[in-house]
Amino acid sequence: MKKVHIVPHMHWDREWYFSTEESRILLVNNMEEILEMLETNPDYPYYVLDGQTSILEDYFAVKPQNRERVKKLVQAGKLIIGPWYTQTDEMVVGGESIVRNLLYGLKDSEEFGSPMKIGYLPDSFGQSSQMPQILNGFDIQYSIFWRGTSERHGTDKTEFYWESDEGSKVLVQLFPLGYAIGKYLPEDEEKLQERIDKYFTVLDRGATTENIILPNGHDQMPIQKNIFTIIEKLERLYPDREFFLSKYENVFAEIEKNQSLPTLQGEFLDGKYMRVHRSIYSTRMDIKAANTRIENKITNILEPLASIAYSLGFEYHHGLIELIWKEIMKNHAHDSIGCCCSDKVHREIMNRFFLAEEKTDQLIEHYKRKITDSIDTDRTEDRLIAFNLLPYERNEVVTTTVITKLPFFTLEDSDGNTIPFEVLKKEELDPGLIDRQIVHYGNYDPFYQYIVQLKDSIPAMGYKTYFVVNEENTMGNSLAARETVETDYYIVSVNPNGTLKIWDKQLEKEFNNVLLLENGGDDGDEYDFSPLQNETLIYSDHAGAKINMAQNDLQAQIDIQLKLEVPGTLENRKTNTIDRFVEVNWNIMIPNHQPVLKVNVEIDNQAKDHRLRALIPTGIASSVSVSDNQFGFIKRDVYDSAMDVWEKENWDERPDSIFPMLSFVGLSDQEHGVSVLTNSTREYEIIGKNDDTIAITLFRSVGVLGKEEMLRRPGRPSGIKLPTPDSQMQGKLNLDFAITTHRGPVTAANTGRIAKEFTTPIQTYNKIPYNAMKLNPSGVLTPLCFSLLQETSPTSVLSTLKKAEKEDQFVLRFFNPTEEGRHSSFTLNRSVEQVQEGNLNENPIASMEVENNSFTVSLKQNQVKTVLFY
């Protein structure tokens, strides 16, 4: 007899077209009904709370007195919670964010009882190929999801094993029709049978056992109180089936008995049976860029800096850091970071990012100050400290600010060596801006603020001290105007239209028209880009640009201003009426000693319903692109072959090759490659007659949440038809990315490492005797120079260094985004008691050999490893 597992649940979007506060009111109402049913009806055995503990956090903010009620039900196995904190997106959210989502979700769950050990992601817009590895890292062996699969992945069954490149594996139960097919089941038997007949046809076809799931829930749906009446009717309508209330674990126990399930690999981004919204990665680029920037600040700067401080004797502020993570993880829910929400919700999302970034910036500043204030020295001069938060020494150009009362100065290191520097800018500052107590006592002598540049070697995972020494000399602006700039790697000039012409000295190859702008209409919505049919795209090839180029001994600087004239609306595009514009200001920094062009762009958009992209021609015709995902890389076809059949096969959306990245994307052949690194936008497409141009989306401008009958997404609207004028992205936007060239393929060049350096700039702190916020002496003494650890084999990419949540130990995580097996070695610059390999949940899994405070870890392709040390 076939068994139908009816699983009661609610899918809880904290926000969508409605606000968090609106959903919280419903939550308080729904939770009371759920608790009462579970407490009073012994025949109602389970309720799944959508796999995310943020629901409980929102609930207890209103009903803290119900913690014990919830705890009893969780411990009894009736109320099923966890493992996530929020229902995360998997495409534009970084690896550490997804790890912390599970880390904090499981931590919160364990306060109440055992969490659900299922990677439950019923609505995320596509599945990352690295999810099996991440789930296994938390001892999770099962996964449930809906979107992204089709038969071309290797099976037409809804149960299969899913494997990451390094061998991690989870058993998947697919929701082929979504998580809501059992919503509001009607008592009318004719309507009930009409609905269920359609579902059984699909569910039976995909099942590998006699067990199928009927999820009984929907978005914000209250508990179905008449479910027992519904079950009675179903038993009458389908006497050959057994119907009962169940939980997902019961189904997995049955599926596991099947010894012949297929094993699939890779990501799931097919929109054949369900929409995955392959261009949602650039909706509300201001929000997307804020997320990228803040994720990188937390993992690349704050946590390693806090670890250095902790190793020196300061407190590791777990509570503050968890607050920051939870602030941004509320935004990582699929609708929130997808930005397919109402304008009022996007304002709330942006405010959360503002608060998270402010907390992050201030905590970074606090740690730098504590370390700097505590330096053990008799010297009384002002100090400048440079922090390197990567596990190897870096010889870098550092651009920083020095505030001093000195009209002239030199920099000396702790050994008394004079460090040359270049002055880029000097201005007077009112002393009241430094500390209002200064002017309170009548001292109005000005301070000077210098922007200076220096180049020096900074110790691995540590810092170096410089002293600001009074010396009479002349310090002028060292940047000299140029018409062409030349570094160790490039000769760069600017075409009249504002594009770059780059001669690569290493590769002996020219790249021209770099940063050409491409503009086209966007007849889409917040979910998807949709082009105007038969439109002629607008390019900046005939724009007139204002160009300023300058260079000193350390780096070149190029400033380009241009205005792209465009139609203001879709209707004007159809008639080719040019009446609005987009201003683009490129600021490009090219270090003399590195093969990288660092690009900052400020955009002022004054038009509606369009998309702007920057084009990077590579001259490399490649059938695949290489970009990164969580803890690794992924190769994707430049042309998706499903484009030839999607209409005939009636796909839900056209499979354009618009894809996400996290920190880089590149094209290469065996000889050389070109890659784009990013600290902002995470969307790209490979275009051009020869498939040789990387198109980086700068922004999309749309005015509606959901729209029907789109060119690349026929049929019903996604979401709802709701005006979202803020998503037109009118006004200013700032983005950061970089371009690098390299010998050999993208993976062999370990572009992931280059991207990590780009998103982990040297940090500085300038100590002067004045500060509006006073601190008492810490009682800790710190050295003038310091290094916590260093890698001794330059192979892996650091993911993060942090203090463990529960134990007095450090967590060092790194990964291998290359196609070769690697050995990664580290030396700790202090005596170490014990080193263990751990999992992503920070639990030890094996002891490691340590010799002279050094250890070595082997890494497969796309493998992440965690090391715990005391």
> CA 205 to CA 273: how far, in whole Å?
15
> CA 408 to CA 117: how far, in whole Å?
63
Active-site positions read 123
Whether 762 and 394 have beta carbons less than 8 Å apart is answered as yes
For residue 477, what is the DSSP state? B
Torsional class of 266: left (φ above 0), alpha (ψ -120 to 50), beta (otherwise):
left
Phi, psi of 606 (to 5 degrees): -120, 20
Beta bridge partners of 660: 683
Whether 665 and 754 have beta carbons less than 8 Å apart is answered as no
Q: Inter-axis angle of helices 20-40 and 67-75, to 10 degrees?
A: 60
Q: Identity (one letter) of the amino acid at 428?
A: E
Residue in the block written with tokens 């004797």: 313
> CA 477 to CA 271: how far, in whole Å?
55
What are the CA-CA distances from residue 71 to residues 7, 27, 31, 81 (Å)?
Answer: 21, 17, 13, 10
CB within 8 Å of 124: residues ≥ 6 apart: 87, 88, 89, 90, 91, 145, 147, 334
What are the CA-CA distances from residue 622 to residues 129, 177, 515, 691 (Å)?
Answer: 22, 36, 20, 6
Report the DSSP pairing between strands 159-163 and 263-265. Answer: parallel
> CA 838 to CA 868: how far, in whole Å?
6
> CA 298 to CA 321: how far, in whole Å?
8
Q: Retrieve residue 407's tokens.
A: 């009209």
> CA 763 to CA 674: how far, in whole Å?
27
Q: In what order do the strands lie in the sheet with 447-458?
A: 394-404, 447-458, 421-429
> CA 738 to CA 318: how far, in whole Å?
33
Q: Identity (one letter) of the amino acid at 562?
A: L
> CA 564 to CA 580: how far, in whole Å?
9
Beta bridge partners of 749: none
DSSP labels, 254-306: HHTT-TT--EEES-B-B-SSS---TTGGGTTHHHHHHHHHHHHIIIIIIHHHH
> CA 721 to CA 706: how far, in whole Å?
5
Residue in the block written with tokens 């109320």: 79
Cβ-count burial 24-38 (b if 16+ within 10 Å, e if not)? beebeebbeebbebb
Q: Identity (one letter) of the amino acid at 419?
A: I
Beta bridge partners of 243: 4
Report the DSSP pairing between strands 810-815 and 797-803. Answer: antiparallel
Whether 740 and 754 have beta carbons less than 8 Å apart is answered as yes
Asked whether the bond before 83 is cis by omega within 30 degrees of 0, the reply is yes
Q: Retrieve residue 814's tokens.
A: 């790194």
Report the DSSP pairing between strands 844-847 and 418-419. Answer: unpaired
Q: How many residues in the chain? A: 870
> CA 89 to CA 333: how far, in whole Å?
6
> CA 199 to CA 205: how far, in whole Å?
10
Residue in the block written with tokens 């310090």: 475
For residue 375, what is the DSSP state? B
Q: Give the residue among 155, 105, 153 at the shortest CA–CA distance from 129.
A: 153
